[in-house]
Structure 1
Amino acid sequence: MIAIFTVALAAGAASALMFASISSGAAISLPLAYFAPLPLMVVGLGWGPVAAAVGGIAATGAMAIVLGWSHSIGFGLAVFLPAVWLGHLALLGRPVATTALVGNPTDLEWYPVDRILVWIVVIAILLATAILLVFGTDAQSIAETVRQLLREAMRGTDGNLTAEQIDQFAKLFAFLAPVALPVNVIFWLTLNLWLAARVARTSGRFHRPWPDLRSVALPPITLVIMATAIAFCFVGGTVAMFATVIAMALLLAYAIVGFAVLHILTLSASNRVFWLASTYVLMFLFSGLILLMTALGIADAVFGLRQRYLQTRPPPLPAE
């Protein structure tokens, strides 16, 4: 128990320091803050969600004392709660119905990766919406808030931004924020959870079988929600801002599904590793190409591409 408590506190301290480093303004602080959920997720997957909660509560309290409540609330909402909740979901399991009837609880049905992805999307929508509401309720109010912040930052400094440049930046921020925020949160949480699971598995403390990530899918209702959100993006005002957040979150979720589809459709391809690696590199260099993966994920949801491929050319599925 003492060892688990020590590990939990160490993970909480690491997460808090990584998150707080963003206030230093150093170049390395941004990637450090990006991976702030990782220590808590590793502890949650390896030692259980209670240990992650203990570390997170200690880190949140310490941050409130040292840096103030604003940093503490930001850490709690953006790092602590998502890390503990996603780690809890990843370890949820229940006896399979057939084995439960015969009294053998060793075979467990684990919480589906599909639903974990849905939860990541929900968390991203809530976080992005909360951040946007801090600035305003629509594009105009957000732009005005950014203008005021920039003017105050420029006052009494050597800043040489003109009024026109401040206005352009404010409008650009108001336009891009509803698009970029949910995308970044989904990528950030998904990457941290995957890395945490890899670390826990390598250390031998990952207590569930490694899931087949190539089978990840979204429920059919998400297509309806996404299409509705895209339609409301053209209404304007607060509704359009919220609709943009939802639409972008679901579009990226389907891009993740698209990568899973690609891993299935290339099973029989020669030089498969080269083509997959090239695809990932191109997506990283030209982020706009992620729309191709989104289209592939949507096409699979509509036409069942993976199921058709495996039925017509059933290859062996090697573990990845």
Structure 2
Amino acid sequence: MVGVETTSNRSKGAGQLMIAIVLIGIAAGAASGLMFASVISRALISALLLYLASMPLMVAAMGWGPLSATIGGIAAAVSIGALFGLHHCIAYALSVAVPAWWLGHLAMLGRPVNDGTEQTPPSMEWYPVGRILLWIAGFAALITLTTLFAFTTDPDAITAALKRGVTRVFAMHRIETNERVIDAAATLAPAAIVIGPLIMLTINLWLAAKITATSGRLQRPWPDLKATTLPPMTLVGLCVAIAFCFTGGLLGLVAKIAAGALLMAYALTGFAVMHTLTLALKSRALWLSCIYVVTIVLVWPGLAMVALGLADAVFGLRQRYLRGKPPPLPAS
């Protein structure tokens, strides 16, 4: 009799958990879909809501599992397709639902590691943050390609549209230019456009993890972000992408987007390097705040972060620093 009651309680608990997973998924999908659809209003805040549209699904994936995010993503995509058409449904699926579901799944992906002792339970090995960053770069490139190819797949037409956009931006800021400057800016534009989606996906994943941790649903320890490193073969992929940038045509356009995404990923690892190299500073928080503010305002110091990330990938700056001079832990 006791065994029957125990089985019944387990079945009841599993049923309640499944109901919670479905309800959370639908709620997350509704929030994500509304944030994505807000761009139709063309209000100023709609741009911010559009960029944050993947965060509810990421919270569902990390807190209640990828099934919850799958349910929410499908529900939101179907609703958007029914209200605004197939084009918007595909755009939502590729730019919001799929990246949110997969990144949330990877963030919670782990496997037990046998430490060789029977007395202690096996520790967990979690999916590396550097590989997640590489996936973010890939999704950012996919979103950029989807956005550009939504209008045309003709590289010449895309280049002409980029030139018109660059010209309007220069005119808006009253910057005097010539045809050579505009051509150079339009050539670099695909690599620059991908930066926006990459940063927003990174921020969304970080915010979603913070929200999940605050709610007590985050089942993994908070990772050491300053130790983030990209896989070694990423540097080879970057070199190949840069080489194909000079081919022109559709292949050259794709290569520029890929190169821009990988360079931005190295810029983020450059910030991780900076966090490591400043561990011994007494005014560390002030220095880091100033560097972030200057980078956001002036933009071009981000190139120094790219160089720092690349230098660390080649020379192992963090490992050399920590081996040569172990820094004290910060007071705060």
The reply to whether TM is greater than 0.5 is: yes
In structure 2, relative to structure 1, the CA distance for the partners of 1:274 and 1:18 (3 Å cut) is: same
Q: Structure 1 residues 88, 187: closer, same or farther in 2, change over 3 A?
A: same
Q: Are positions 1:77 and 2:94 aligned together?
A: yes
Whole-Å separation in 2 of the counterparts to 1:147 and 1:180 = 14
TM-score by length of structure 1 reads 0.86
By how many angstroms is 1:132 displaced? 2.5
Aligned length: 300
| Alignment gaps of 5+ in structure 1 | 149-166
Contact 1:16 1:59 in 2 (8 A): yes
* Aligned partner of residue 243 in structure 2, secondary structure: helix
Alignment of 1:94-109 (within 5 A): 94-98=111-115, 102=118, 106-109=122-125
For 1:4, which of 21, 32, 41 is the aligned residue?
A: 21
Counterpart position of 1:160: none
Matched, 1:66 2:83: yes
Contact 1:38 1:196 in 2 (8 A): yes
Which of 126, 137, 140 aligns to 1:121? It is 137
Separation in structure 2 between the aligned mates of residue 305 and residue 172 of structure 1, nearest angstrom: 33
SS at match of 1:28: helix
Change (3 A) 1:286 1:314: same
Counterpart of 2:313? 301
Deviations, residues 179-237 of structure 1 (Å, cap 9, x unaligned): 23321121111110001001111111110011111111112222122122223222322
Paired letter, 2:289: A
1:27 to 20, 44, 47: 44
Cα distance between partner residues in 2 of 1:119 and 1:146: 26
Please state how far the C-alpha of 1:139 moved relative to its aligned partner.
4.1
Identity of aligned residues (%): 51
Matched, 1:86 2:117: no
Q: Output the TM-score relative to the length of structure 2.
A: 0.83
Are the structure 2 counterparts of residues 215 and 23 from structure 1 closer, same or farther at C-alpha, using a change threshold of 3 Å?
same
The residue number in structure 1 matching 2:227 is 215
Relative to structure 2, which stretch is displaced further, 126-135 or 72-81?
126-135
1:285 Cα deviation after fit: 0.3
Q: Cα offset for 1:145? A: 6.5
**8 Å Cα contact 1:299-1:305 kept in structure 2:** yes
CA deviations over 1:276-308 (Å, ceiling 9, x no partner): 000111111011211000000011111111011
Instruction: State whether residues 115 and 123 of structure 2, in contact with CA within 8 Å, keep that contact through their aligned partners in structure 1.
Output: no
Q: Secondary structure at the match of 2:281?
A: coil
Q: Which moved more, 1:79-88 or 1:233-242?
A: 233-242
Q: Which runs of 5+ in 2 are unaligned?
A: 1-17, 165-178
Query: How far, CA to CA, are the matches of 1:144 and 1:178 in structure 2?
Result: 12
How far off its partner does 1:271 sit? Answer: 0.5
Match of 2:173 in 1: none
The aligned counterpart of 1:310 is 322
User: CA separation of 1:281/1:237 partners in 2, compared to 1, >3 Å: closer, same or farther?
Assistant: same
Cα 1:229/1:102, change in 2 over 3 Å:
same
Please state whether the residue corresponding to 2:111 is helix, strand or coil.
strand
Aligned to 1:227: 239
For 1:236, the equivalent position in structure 2 comes to: 248
Contact 1:18–1:32, Cα closer than 8 Å, also in 2: yes
Separation (CA, whole Å) in 1 of partners of 2:251 and 2:61 = 36
